[in-house]
Every structure is written in C-alpha cells, then in structure tokens.
Structure 1
Amino acid sequence: MSVSAGGRHRVAVLVRDGVLPMELGLVHQLFGRARSAAGTPLYEVVSCGVAAGKVRTDADFEVHVPAGLAALRDAATVVVPASHELDERCPGAGPVPAALVAAHRRGARVASICTGAFVLAAAGLLEGRRATTHWLSADRFTAMFPSVALDPAVLYADEGDVLTSAGEAAGIDLCLHMIRRDHGAAVAGDVARRTVVPPHREGGQAQFIARPVAAPREATTGPARAWALERLHEPLTLAELAARASMSVRTFTRRFRQEAGVSPAVWLARQRVERARQLLEETDLPVERVAERSGFGTAASLRAHLQAAVGVSPSAYRATFRGPQDGPQDGPQEGVRAGAAR
C-alpha cells in the first residue's frame, strides 16, 4: 500500500474531460473526512489528469488538477469517476488505460464510479470479473465487454483489488465500503454521520427500487424497520414485523421487498451483522455477549453469519479493527477478506 509522507493511504482521483463534478467531489469529501480515534486524517486525496492543468466538467465550469498521470504511481487506491462524453467510446489503448494497468500491477486498488467502469474494462482490468455500472449503460457495456460478468442491478461490486459502482449516488456507497474495508465500521460510520448519508448499503442492494415512496395514506414498512432496529437483540418474527405495519405477512413481504430491495429475512440478518461488527469494534464484550446483543443468540450463529459476510471469525475481525484483545479466542486469526459476500 502506498502512503504519503505522513503515513496516510493515498487516493488518486483520475479526472478526465467531461467529469461529473459530484463524483469528483464525493471522493474527496468521504475519504477526506476519515479520521482515526485520535483525529488524524487517514487518507490523502489527490486529483490528477492526463496532464496537470484545467479539465472540463460536464457542468459550466472547469477544475484544475495539480498533477498528471504520474500521480498514479504513488497511489494505494485509484478512483475513476465517470465522463459520459468519453466512457462509452473509450479506447483500449492510450495513456489512461496504460497508467491504470501499471498502477494495478504495482498493487494499487482500482475503483470506478458509474460509467467509469468502461475505462477499467477497456484497460482489461475487469476481464473475467464481476462488475457493475449505471443500469442505463448496461446493454452497451455488455455488448462491448462480453467477457465481463456485469450485474446491472447492484449498487457496487467488490472484486478485491478492482471495484465498480453504479450511478453517482452509488459512488458514495462504494467509497464508504472501501473505508469500512480499510478501517472498520466505526470510522466509516463517523464519515457517514459527518456527511449526513446512510452509513451502509450492501453492494448487492438494488440500484433502483420499484416503489421507493408510498402513495399518500398508503402504509409502508419503514416504521416496522425502525422498530426492528431497536430490537435486534430480540427473536423477531416475520409475523411480528407484519403486525407492526398492520399488514398481512404476504402483503408485508411483498411491500418490504419493493421498498428495501431485499426480503425481510435478508435485511434483518444484514442489520444484525452490522450491529455485531459495531460491538466487536467498539466494546470489549465477549463474543457470546456480542452474539446475544446483536440477535444471533449464540457465538456459533454469529461466527457463521460473520464468516459469510466478511470471511473471518469474530475474534479475527476484532483483532483487525481494534487490535488484539485479552481473553479466549473463538477461532484462528485470519485477515478480513477483500470483498464481502453478496
């Protein structure tokens, strides 16, 4: 991992003509706000282009980038925001694909936002990998890059050292996901609170939900979800959730999927995993107590769910994001795997 002189993880944002300003800004905003417990910045974010100087955006202003492609040589992470005027006709040859390949070979993590995935694919970085892009561009992407396993329905796809996200807002989810991978849920949650965005949306969540807002006077599952979040430690049932929303189980299940993008059971399991991760990072509770307070009941159940979500045991997760703890361990120490389970 490349770091700055101050020991920070260096993130290079590759800016090209026609860049979407929101995507450029969100990378700086999110990584730039990540702090350690002592308040020390954890990332250094630098903007670069094909050459230093002015770069057109897709709005009525330009931005100045202080560095050229040489900045990618010192980056631990390279992020490619979208440029709708270039992406879908991007060549596979030239300085940008070559620089991305060189950075990746050197060990940099490479990520794209929205149609920036076209650039990664043109460079050959998505060959045989799972990826996503904006759903409106999915058909063209598949036609251009048939060897890429495109999933146009998800918010982001994590292949370890190469990550892709859907539209602009999904770039927020992807950046928070990378911060969580690097420094844990507490740091990412703090960034989300400072930025006033949802702290975590799974990459497998739908890009768009068929029924995001209910019609006037129509019941929603939102209050039931809020009620459940306050009671994750309890053995909640589908019937209880449906009753809370004053719906039949069948109607509640259908409406829940329409509004949340996943089934109630999947949603509940994800919330409990997130609660467990928070407790492992922020408390010294034994694994058995973490399991109880997050609603898994037993250490074995927690271990199975956490293993499925992030690929490690509870003690290994705690050691990674909180440092070694005293007391009995629940399994062999392992590193947190690069990509979370879908």
Structure 2
Amino acid sequence: MSHRPPRHVLFMLCDKVNVLDVTGPLEVLSQPCRLQADAPPYRITVASLQGGLITTSAGLRLDTVPIASVEMRSVHTLILPGGGAGYVPFAPQALVDWISMHASGIARICSTCTGAFTLAATGLLAGRRVTTHWLAGANLLALDPSLQLEADALFVADGKFWTAAGVSAGIDLALALLESDLGHQTAMQVAQRLVVFLKRPGGQSQFSQALRQQSQEGALADLHGWMAANLQRELSVAQLAEQAGMSVRSFARHYQRKVGMTPAKAVAAMRLEAASQALAHSKRPLKAIAADCGFGDEQALRRAFQRQFGIAPASYRARFAA
C-alpha cells in the first residue's frame, strides 16, 4: 500500500518569539506523527535565518536550523509565530524579504498572534480577511488599512493564507489545519489527547467583548461602560451616538475605525457575553436573562446562542456552570 509523502511544515522563528505560538501548533501537528509512526503525515522543521539558538519572549531558548539548509521546494506549509514587546511588528526586514521571495512556491502560509504583522509587511495580505491578537488589531490596520480585520475570530482562512488570533489560538488554527489535511476523526483524536476542544463550544470569539471594548480610552470607554449597564435598552446607533455626543454618521464612522466593528455588532457581542456570564454564574431563568441582556424574549436568546455557539443556552449552562 502506497503512502502519501508527508507534508513539510516549516516554522520560521526569530528572537523574542512567543513560546506558545511555536510549541502550541508544533504539539498539535506532531501528534498525528506519533499516532501514525509508520507513515507520519507531517515532516516538521523549526528554522531561523541564521540557525542556532533563538531566545523567546519568555527567555526560553529554542534550537533552530539555518534556513539555507532547508529545501524550499519541499515546503508545503509555512508558520510564522508572533512575539516581541507590545503589539507591533517585531520580525527583521530580512525575514520579511525572505518570505516575499519564497511565498509563491508555498501552498499554505500561516501566522499566529502578531506573526500577522510579519506577513502583512510583505504586502501578501493586502485586501484579505485576517485576524490577530485582539489588542493588536488597530496597529495591524495602521500597517495595512486594506486588510479586512475580523477582530473577534480565533482564526481566519483566506485562500492559502491563514491567520490566528492571540497565543493559544495557534492551537485552534493547527487543529483546523490538521482537520483539513487528515480529516475530522484524526483531528478529534488529537484534540482529545491534548485535552482541548476541536472547536471551542464557548464560541469562536477570542476575547471578552465587554473587557475589550471597555479597554478603549476616552469617550468610547465611558460609552462602553454605559452600554454594559444598559443592555436591556434598545441601544440603536442613534441612541449610542446621542450618548456619545456625536452625529449618527460621524459616530458610526468613528466607532468602526476605533473598535473594528459596527456599533450594532458590538452591542450584539456584549449582549451575548453578558448572557453567557449570567448562564455560567447564576441560576436565573432564561426568560429573565434574555430580558436583562436585551434579547427581548427567550426565543431570541436561543437563536443567538445557536447561531454563535452551535448549542442551546441550557446546554451552555450545563457545560460551563461554575
């Protein structure tokens, strides 16, 4: 019986890389190689421009091979981990240039966390759907305003380019790659071995909406605090604009630019977050939670949970109740 040649996965590292951005996806993709030792589905290489020891942001040193020793024609998937101080580009220009030179010959190119900055710096992501760590979204758009940022996604695939959100979302991305390559059963087996969800049932959002939105400075921070305290109200764009002391048109434009989503989507996300917290940390009836969080009735709450999480509110409570 003939076996498919293993897909060659290349991790490209540079100093100050995040440990988990490397080891999370690496652990996921190495698991099926242990499960299928007679015909491993992946060949994994961890490289850097010069080779040798790379110092991670946590101080741990990882050994790498020099990229010059890698046969690039064999590389199927490139993974660019994030890292550095703050949510800004941290990779050297030499790495950006190297990616630009070799990208056309690589079937799949991925980034995790702020690795999206490295990929965006090449121009290869221009106009594409992307994500990154939720704290880094505004900086990424400043680097390339043409990007279609999906700020609440754990990972996004647009053509051969895959981008993952902050740190642990690299595991979600790697599981999705594995499922695409080897099928649902193998991906589920690996997820079970690692004691993680294949697809997080708590929703595909990478952060608490209320926490993220209330971290905004100035007028929007005050507005988001008011929104969180008044979810049972209508919270129309006109009402929010009035609360912010702006015209509707100016408010909608300003909000989208600062937050990365429309006011309506932000309200919906905050309501869902509040309902999730109420289900997990209280025994209040669904009807009362739906009313307090602005869903109006129980049916609307059920539809929202089914659409976002794929499970009913009662199932969510059973799984996540404190």
- Please tell me the TM-score bracket, short chain as reference: 0.5 to 0.7
Distance in 2 (alpha carbons) for counterparts of 1:7 and 1:21: 29
Name the SS for the 1:205 alignment partner. coil
Quick one: structure 1 residues 163 and 10, their matched pair in 2 at CA, closer, same or farther if it must change by over 3 Å? same
Structure 2 counterpart of 1:82, which letter?
Answer: G
Give the RMSD, CA atoms, in angstroms: 3.7
Quick one: structure 1 residues 256 and 185, their matched pair in 2 at CA, closer, same or farther if it must change by over 3 Å? farther
> What is residue 76 of structure 1 aligned with on the other side?
76
Structure 1 counterpart of 2:80, which letter?
Answer: V
Structure 1 counterpart of 2:82, which letter?
Answer: A
> What is residue 133 of structure 1 aligned with on the other side?
132
> What is residue 237 of structure 1 aligned with on the other side?
none
**Residues 220 and 255 of structure 1 are in contact (CA less than 8 Å); yes or no, is this contact kept in structure 2?**
no
Distance in 1 (alpha carbons) for counterparts of 2:50 and 2:291: 53
Distance in 1 (alpha carbons) for counterparts of 2:170 and 2:164: 6
**Offset from partner CA, 1:69-109 (integer Å, 9 cap, x none):** 55371310000111224972457x84312322333201321
**Offset from partner CA, 1:297-320 (integer Å, 9 cap, x none):** xxxxxxxxxxxxxxxxxxxxxxxx
Give the CA deviation at 1:178: 0.9
**Residues 134 and 151 of structure 2 are in contact (CA less than 8 Å); yes or no, is this contact kept in structure 1?**
yes
Distance in 1 (alpha carbons) for counterparts of 2:129 and 2:66: 31
Selected match of 1:28 from 26, 29, 38: 26
Quick one: structure 1 residues 175 and 256, their matched pair in 2 at CA, closer, same or farther if it must change by over 3 Å? farther
> What is residue 67 of structure 1 aligned with on the other side?
66
**Residues 14 and 81 of structure 1 are in contact (CA less than 8 Å); yes or no, is this contact kept in structure 2?**
yes
TM-score normalised per structure 1? 0.60
- Unaligned segments of structure 2, at least 5 residues: 212-272, 296-300, 313-322
> What is residue 162 of structure 2 aligned with on the other side?
163
> What is residue 18 of structure 1 aligned with on the other side?
16
Aligned length: 239
Give the CA deviation at 1:248: 3.2
Structure 1 counterpart of 2:75, which letter?
Answer: A
Show the 5 A alignment for 1:177-256: 177-201=176-200, 205-210=204-209, 220=279, 247-249=285-287, 251-252=289-290
Distance in 1 (alpha carbons) for counterparts of 2:286 and 2:125: 44
Hey, which of these two has a bigger chunk of helix by percent?
2
Distance in 2 (alpha carbons) for counterparts of 1:143 and 1:99: 23
**Offset from partner CA, 1:271-305 (integer Å, 9 cap, x none):** 69xxxxxxxxxxxxxxxxxxxxxxxxxxxxxxxxx
- Unaligned segments of structure 1, at least 5 residues: 224-244, 273-342
Give the CA deviation at 1:138: 1.2
Give the CA deviation at 1:54: 1.4
Percentage identity across aligned positions?
Answer: 26
> What is residue 307 of structure 2 aligned with on the other side?
266
TM superposition outliers: structure 1 runs of 4+ over 3 Å: 35-40, 252-257
Name the SS for the 2:10 alignment partner. strand
Structure 1 counterpart of 2:25, which letter?
Answer: V
Quick one: structure 1 residues 101 and 108, their matched pair in 2 at CA, closer, same or farther if it must change by over 3 Å? farther
TM-score normalised per structure 2? 0.64
Name the SS for the 1:47 alignment partner. strand
Distance in 1 (alpha carbons) for counterparts of 2:294 and 2:188: 25
